[in-house]
Structure 1
Amino acid sequence: MELEVIKKLIKKYLPGHGDFLRKAMIAKRYYQAQNDILFMEKKKTDETENPMRNADNRIAMTFYPLLVDQKIAYLFTAPPLFDTKNEEANQLITNTLGGEYAAKVQELGTNAANSGIGWLHYWTDENNDFQYGVVPSEQIIPVWSPKLSHELLAVLRVYQEFDDNGDIYDVYEFWDDETCTKYRKRGCDELQMLTPYPCFTDFYISGMSGADNEYRHNFGAVPFIPFRNNQLATSDLFRIKKLIDAYDKTISGFMNDLEDIQEVIFVLTNYGGEDLNEFLKNLKYYKTISVESAGTGDSAGVSTLNIDIPVEARREMMVTTKKAIFTMGQGVDPEQQGLNSTSGEAMKFVYSLLELKAGQLETQFRMGFDKLINAILRHYNRDTGPIIQTWTRTSIKNDADLVSMCRNSVGVVSNKTILAHHPFVDDVSEEQKEIAKEQQEQMEAMDMYGGAFNKAKGGES
């Protein structure tokens, strides 16, 4: 791609990326428990108006990371499994996804929850093996087709890196369905200083010596896959941010009052001493102080300032706000009362809101996983076709009910489907192998027993 063309694309798409980047970074900050309350300026008040207000506690409640981790654990503690109806292809997929598959899926889901969309990038290594990884969502600027299909036409990836001298560079990678071109500029330079970044060697470009800033990836598609958090690709934070901020302010103000109320402030009227040190000395050693009275009606004396804390109002505010956070955030309150004796069937209603939110993510992620598995099969020249995905929820449930349902489903659905939903089975293929092995051993044992019985019977005759 020509240098001037990439400059025009950057000027076109980078400004619109700013709003997405701002929202994504706010959600990421809240996920790290860096709420707005920690960065608010302290209110400037006249000390003569309210000398009681000195405490400045900043308490950031971790409701948002709890809700995100709750959804990710609910969906991906047992990551999705894939079945192509071909054992060889299934084993190839398992080997390619590797042992880090579960961790990468959880990272992908967390990025989607925070940013509204997660991105997965795939490539080939020096051995031509298929590799994949999660890319931070804030680095990706997608170029979508204006058609109803909403196809991904290209990806502009923007990130920073350090060179050997410690200088910061802004790197721009432009990916389409055939090539990747790479450019960079110093972080402090203007866009006009953008130059080609020749970092691709003959490892990427066969038959070339030296390096170039472009290479062909031969995937036949843009090697980036979007994983939306929901249909609108919105973050989980935007629905509950104001509620979290209100709770933070309430509990922080409560703590400030409790801290300030421990300080006693004396109000001295017509004090007869010379200075405050003498006042404290007389109060400590003599338990008395002297004041000057001007006669009848004079208000000379000592009094104290007190803080009145509206405890009940604040308690009600915190209870109501917390309930709204879990309702609007579609989560399960871990302190919800009355769950000790809840049956397995009734427990489903406790998870109903979380299931609604998880279902929206699953619908979008299913499309992304289909693209990933098909890319793996195409790379290894295997036939692509329908892919069966098995998703497992991780929640508090009654395993006895599930086992009973599996037992009652024998003869109604296939044994493979029953195994996929059995609470004791993690890998359906491995379980099928174990069952076949046990059946073979039982048949061999029966043959040995039968042969010995016939031999013994013949000997008696």
Structure 2
Amino acid sequence: MKLNRVLDLIKTNEAFFDKCREGKKYYSNKNDILEKGVCSTSKESVGDDVLRHADNRVTHSFHPLLTDEKASYMFTYEPIIDVDDNENNVNSVVNEILGDNFSRKLKNLCIESTNCGVAWLHYWIDDKNQEFKFEKVNTEEVIPITDSSLEKNILEIIRYYDVSEYIDEETTAKKVYRYIEVWNDKEFTKYKLDAGATVPVNTETYTHQLGRVPFIKFANNMNETGDLDKYKKQIDLYDKVMSGYANDMEDIQQIIYILENYGGQDLDEFKTNLKRYKTIEVESNQIQGKGDFRTIQIDIPVEARKVILEELKKQIYEFAQGLQQDIESFGNASGVALKFFYRKLELKCGVTETEFRGGISELVGAILRYKGIEYKKIQQTYTRNMISNDVENAQIAQQSVGVVPTKVILQNHPWIDDVDEALKLLDEEKIQLENSLEDEYQISNEQPIDNINTQDNNLNDITAKDIKTEAKEEANKTLNGAQTQSLISIISQFTSGIISEGQAINLISIAIGIDKEKAKNLLNGVV
């Protein structure tokens, strides 16, 4: 692409870039009230106006609070990535490259897209050690060039930024240069220009082996608009009302003294006499008439301001789809009640998540191409940072065993960050349990029932069918062959007096995956 066209595109997109800067300005709590004031006039223009001298400009950080609330809710816990059901242990390869800061980078992308409407992630291969790197770039530095298809595939990316550099190695003087990079799927050209110039000081072209334009878009929503547009006017009015109230507190004295034919020389003497002697002197004459002193009390309207501020605050959180405010306590609320509390925030984050899923899949795909790994599907499981009812979650997970695959349960378990590691630990525990049963009770899980030695005649009549029936009736549990043999082994040792009832209950609970209460009922039902 020719440089003159690039410069024209940069100029054309200035309005969008200004919108990005506005979102970031409000995120830094630098609201418009700081520039305009209550009366949209500067302090200099107010001058010595007797009625209006105070110029308080109070900002309120609603936007950063709502933005951080959204970002922390979505990405305090990074999504769990699963490629082709972890075939050939590919998940560990991906997670190693994503690194420990993946959650932080996603959080920053979320904040950027919330402020600007869209965020951009740039990835590259480091020249020093050939490692895969990726990082967020400022939205106001990026211009995408797409094709005319409905999918809007990216053909090129223009990135520009200003850098202050030393003129030479000898002096401390600096000069601002503008760098412009034009990327495609094979190479990028880098221009260096003086600030405001149209002719480059230097031009270099580099090739890359990434196979695609190495920029990934993370949109905030379908329209790629920031959240500030939804409630900016309400924040501005809130700032204006509060700043105006502060001005009134300074400008308007609650008591005004009215003096007629005051006998003193100046107001300072009047205030001194009033403070010291609690009296003042007034004069009367035929020309000016009788002297007088009285006061007027002015009441600043407080209630009206309270009403409008409360209404504005409600509107801000309503339009921003933020969490309810001023909620004292939910107590021991159920999972449904807690989800209702988060409903608006969840709807807003759900829209952003649908946009981010595509970006994350594209990033993981780039990592797999870098590693030369072929893949078919990439799954993502998200965990929200929210208050939850741990008792209900534990019960749901426990009741899902045997109905829902173990991997799915672990993917949705709030305590699990690494599903593959959890599955590995479960397999290790299963092996340890089987070895423990064989070593401690000297009975194999494959040993026929007829060979079990017992001193309890009642156990001789127990069959595998009886065990399975009791398990179904007492514990609502369907047993496989290995679980049936393990259960018979434990019951045999209990009836023989080798282990206590408590030990038997614990072993049954572990062996077939039920709670201790059901294990006790099962033991009593069989024996």
> What is the TM-score of this pair, normalised by structure 1?
0.88
Q: Does the 8 A contact of 2:333 with 2:389 survive in 1?
A: no
**Residues 295 and 63 (structure 1 numbering): CA distance in 2 closer, same or farther, change over 3 Å?**
same
Distance 1:275 1:9 in 2: 70
1:168 is aligned with what amino acid? V
Deviations 1:346-379 (A, max 9, x none): 1212211111110110000001111111111011
In the TM superposition, residue 279 of structure 1 has moved relative to its aligned partner by: 1.9
Query: Are residue 147 (structure 1) and residue 152 (structure 2) matched?
Result: no
Quote the Cα distance in structure 1 between the aligned partners of 2:268 and 2:148. 78
Q: Distance in 2 between matches of 1:112 and 1:322?
A: 24
What TM-score, normalized to structure 2?
0.77
Among 366, 371, 385, the residue aligned to 1:394: 385
**What residue identity is the alignment partner of 2:62?**
F
Which whole-Å deviations, capped at 9, do the CAs of 1:101-144 have from their partners, x for residues lacking one? 11111111110100000100000012222111111111111112
**Closer, same or farther: CA 100–338 of 1 in aligned 2, 3 Å:** closer
Equivalent of 2:400 in 400, 406, 409: 409
1:228 to 194, 205, 219: 219
Deviation at 1:272?
Answer: 2.0
CA distance in 1, matches of 2:97, 2:440: 44
Per-residue deviation at 1:298?
4.8
Per-residue CA deviations over 1:26-65 (Å, capped at 9, x if unaligned) read 11011011111111234756867xx354332222111111
> Structure 1 residues 411 and 141 mapped into 2: Cα distance closer, same or farther (>3 Å)?
same
Count of aligned pairs between the two proteins: 432
From 6, 10, 24, the counterpart of 1:9: 6
| 1:33-112 pair list within 5 angstroms | 33-40=29-36, 41-42=41-42, 44=45, 51=50, 53-84=52-83, 85=85, 86-112=87-113
Q: Partner letter of residue 90 of structure 1?
A: N
Q: Which amino acid aligns with 2:197?
A: E
Does 2:6 correspond to 1:20? no
Partner residue of 1:367? 358
Residue identity (%): 38
Question: Which structure has more RCO (C-alpha within 8 Å, separation ≥ 6)?
Answer: 1
Matches within 5 A, 1:271-290: 271-290=262-281
How many Å apart are 1:385 and its aligned residue? 1.6
Q: CA deviation at 1:162?
A: 2.5
Structure 2 contact 120–137 (Cα < 8 Å) conserved: yes
Q: CA RMSD in A?
A: 2.3
- The match for 2:189 among 178, 181, 186 is 181
CA drift of 1:299 comes to 6.5
Deviation digits for residues 239-272 of structure 1 (CA, Å, limit 9, x no counterpart): 1000001111112222233344567543322222
Please state whether the residue corresponding to 1:163 is helix, strand or coil.
strand
User: Aligned partners of 1:252 and 1:341: how far apart in 2?
Assistant: 40
The DSSP-based 3-state class of the residue aligned with 2:230 is coil
Trace 1:200-239 onto structure 2 (pairs within 5 A).
Answer: 213-239=204-230
Q: How does 1:299-378 map to 2 (within 5 A)?
A: 300-336=291-327, 339-340=330-331, 342-378=333-369
Q: Is the 8 A contact 1:403 1:423 kept in 2?
A: no
Q: Which amino acid aligns with 2:121?
A: L
Amino acid at match of 2:71: I
Larger Rg belongs to? 2
Amino acid of the structure 2 residue aligned with 1:196: N
Q: Tell me by how many angstroms 1:343 deviates.
A: 2.9
Cα 1:342/1:317, change in 2 over 3 Å: farther
> For residue 135 of structure 1, what is the amino acid of its counterpart?
V
Matched residue, 1:435: 426
Question: Which of 156, 161, 164 in structure 1 is aligned with 2:166?
Answer: 164
TM superposition shift of 1:296: 11
AA partner of residue 389 (structure 2): N
**Cα pair 1:57 1:255 within 8 Å, conserved:** yes
Q: Match for residue 450 of structure 2?
A: none
Matches within 5 A, 1:110-149: 110-125=111-126, 126-149=128-151
Distance verdict in 2 for CA 1:228–1:450, change over 3 Å: same
Alpha-carbon distance in structure 1 between the residues aligned to 2:256 and 2:402: 81
SS at match of 1:120: strand
Q: What SS does structure 2 have at the residue aligned with 1:158?
A: strand
Cα drift, residue 429 of structure 1: 1.4
Deviations 1:365-405 (A, max 9, x none): 00111111111101110002210101111111212111211
SS in 1 for 2:227: coil
Contact 1:378/1:384, CA 8 A, preserved across alignment: no
Change (3 A) 1:65 1:73: same
Deviations 1:289-317 (A, max 9, x none): 22223469957323345432221111110
Counterparts of 2:202 and 2:47 in 1: how far apart (Å)? 58
Residue 227 of structure 1 contacts residue 365 of structure 1 at CA under 8 Å; is this kept in 2?
yes
The yes-or-no answer on 1:32 pairing with 2:40 is no
The whole-number CA distance in structure 2 between the counterparts of 1:248 and 1:341 is 37
2:197 to 169, 176, 190: 190
C-alpha contact (below 8 Å) 2:34/2:58 kept by paired residues: yes
> Where do 5+ consecutive residues of structure 1 fail to align?
198-212
Structure holding more helix per residue: 2
Quick one: distance in 1 between partners of 2:303 and 2:288? 39
Q: Which AA in structure 2 matches 1:136?
A: N
Per-residue deviation, 1:447: 2.3
Matched residues in 1 for 2:220 and 2:312: separation? 25
Q: 1:59/1:299 Cα in 2 relative to 1: closer, same or farther (>3 Å)?
A: farther
User: How far apart, in 2, do the equivalents of 1:136 and 1:307 lie?
Assistant: 52
Contact in 1 for aligned 2:80/2:411 (Cα 8 Å): no
Structure 1 counterpart of 2:495: none
**Residue 518 of structure 2: aligned partner:** none
The equivalent residue for 1:205 is none
SS at match of 2:64: helix
Please give the residue correspondences for 1:374-385 in structure 2 after superposition, counting only pairs within 5 Å.
Answer: 374-385=365-376
In 2, the alpha carbon distance for the partners of 1:69 and 1:362 equals 15
Deviation readout 1:300-335 (Å, 9 max, x if unpaired): 323345432221111110111100000000110332
In the TM superposition, what is the alpha-carbon distance from 1:228 to its structure 2 partner?
0.1
Equivalent AA in structure 2 for residue 17 of structure 1: N
**Deviation digits for residues 65-117 of structure 1 (CA, Å, limit 9, x no counterpart):** 11101110110011111101225211110010111111111111110100000
Q: Counterpart of 2:19 in structure 1: which amino acid?
A: K
- For 1:305 and 1:132, how far apart are their aligned partners in 2? 68
